[in-house]
Structure 1
Amino acid sequence: MVRIGGSVAVLLAAVTLLNIAYQLIRKPTELFVLIGNALDKEPAETWASYGPLFRHASTATIMPELLAALAQVESSGNPVARTYWRWRWSFNPLAIYRPASSAVGLFQMTDPAFAEAARFCVRGNAVTQTGCGFTSFYIRAVPSHAIELASVYLDRQMALVLSLAGDIKANATQKQDLAAFIHLCGAGPATAYARRKFQMLAGERCGDHLVAAYLARVNAMKRQFLRLAAESG
């Protein structure tokens, strides 16, 4: 029995190491676990570090304070923040324990969102597809890249959602809430939200998050960053 138990332990250890190696090959940014929370920032530090980048990447609909608020809520201003790992039942032993998503960086941007945003850029505080250079080689763990990518993605997705929602007029506050909703839930649920004239469903969730609580956190951070921006001039 001791020999069998030892063999099982060795097998489990080997599978565990194989799984870790496999997940690191699939998502090398998981190596940022070695940095941990060392780069987390308080809101004032986030604004001091990235304020000019938020302003430079902002658009007519995606405000600097919204970008700052999303970065603070998603990653505490940590440019190499990574997602948690999750257990899932699977017949594939390499899929049982793995990162919850492909998200990484200040905005926890996923691979599909990156693929969509990397075809565009922000020039003169407007999203464009011309004169972008090598945005397809952007890295989500680089703050300037992550901020521009997030602004592009949210700006374009907001335009898409409003076009799909039909005859809906959104004021500035509703657009900011819609952008946060898109960031959390994606265009599909956000379109339904817009069609309801920006009314959330009771208990509405996206992933692990209660939508109302998420938007409340983002809005609280927006107010804080508006104060920080005013103080810094």
Structure 2
Amino acid sequence: MPRTSSSLLPRLRRVRRAARWARKNFARAPRMVRIAGGVAMLLAAIALLNIVAQMVRKPTELFFLVGHSLDKEPAETWARYGPLFRRHSTAAITPELLAALAQVESSGNPVARTYWRWRWSFNPLSIYRPSSSAVGLFQMTDPAYAEAARSCVRGNAVTETGCGFTSLYIRTIPSHAVELASVYLDRQVADVLARTGDVKASPQQRQDLAAFIHLCGAGPATAYARRKFQMLAGERCGDHLVAAYVARVNAIKRQFQRLAADDGD
């Protein structure tokens, strides 16, 4: 212990000397240099505080340390999560649709995060922050999670009985994420179709509607269903063209259908 103390003392003295030297030279610097230096230090402090604040608000942002190392090609996604997609599928939300949405949203990465975005705000801690609360295989947001966590999938059907502790589900755990997504989309598809009255939907139209809901939410999806499932040219939700998003989901879904067929051979 004495050796440790004796080795630390010289280091502390060097740090104090360096700090005194920096203060002395900073005080002697021209006024504009001092102002610029002060502003730079203030901005650096705000940036550091903002990062800490965002991590507290959304701890899953710490998964930036993992980055894209858990991204997967479609075949890997199916090999890893295929049994989960099958177990938690429903009549409307097929295993291949779940797989396609997971691939499009996160490349099969269970801890995928959303991007960060600049926004003008008088609150310095809101200027640069995650674009949404989305996280996990399906990039599920907090409101969607709160709605889905009340139910579960049992026997490939959504139910509110015998669900146990689904309210404690974690979106970065693949089995939880798949079940939550299936519950949310199955319920939303049923609710949207109920609101549209006499509109009849084929299985493919139900799956397109599910992809639409996943991207845009129930409001725009209801309008889409009332148009007899006709896309509007140039319609966007967030940063995505809706028609392009749904087409991409369908294209990747066909890949997973081939992978599922290969499993059955």
Normalising by structure 2, what TM-score? 0.87
Which structure is larger by alpha-carbon Rg, 1 or 2? 2
Percent sequence identity over aligned pairs: 82
1:69-218 matches, cutoff 5 A: 69-218=100-249
The DSSP-based 3-state class of the residue aligned with 1:188 is helix
The DSSP-based 3-state class of the residue aligned with 2:258 is helix
Query: Residues of 1 paired with 2:164 and 2:261: CA distance?
Result: 33
Q: Which residue in 2 is equivalent to 1:220?
A: 251
* Aligned residue pair count: 233
Q: Deviations over 1:181-230 (max 9, x none)?
A: 00000000000000000001110100100001001100001100000001
- Quote how far apart the aligned CAs of 1:168 are: 0.3
Q: Which residue in 1 is equivalent to 2:20?
A: none
Query: Residues of 2 paired with 1:173 and 1:60: CA distance?
Result: 12
Q: Which residue in 1 is equivalent to 2:28?
A: none
- Quote how far apart the aligned CAs of 1:166 are: 1.3
1:61 aligns with 2:108: no
The DSSP-based 3-state class of the residue aligned with 2:49 is helix
Query: Residues of 2 paired with 1:105 and 1:189: CA distance?
Result: 24
- Quote how far apart the aligned CAs of 1:2 are: 1.2
| Moved segments of 4+, more than 4 Å | none
Q: Specify the code of the residue in structure 2 equivalent to 1:121.
A: C
Using CA pairs below 8 Å that are at least 6 residues apart, which structure has the higher relative contact order?
A: 1
Query: Residues of 2 paired with 1:175 and 1:129: CA distance?
Result: 22
1:47 aligns with 2:47: no
- Quote how far apart the aligned CAs of 1:165 are: 1.0
Q: Deviations over 1:9-56 (max 9, x none)?
A: 110010001100100000000000000000000000000000000000
The DSSP-based 3-state class of the residue aligned with 2:104 is helix
- Quote how far apart the aligned CAs of 1:93 are: 0.6
Query: Residues of 1 paired with 2:56 and 2:72: CA distance?
Result: 29
Gaps of 5+ in 2: 1-31
CA RMSD of aligned residues (A): 0.4
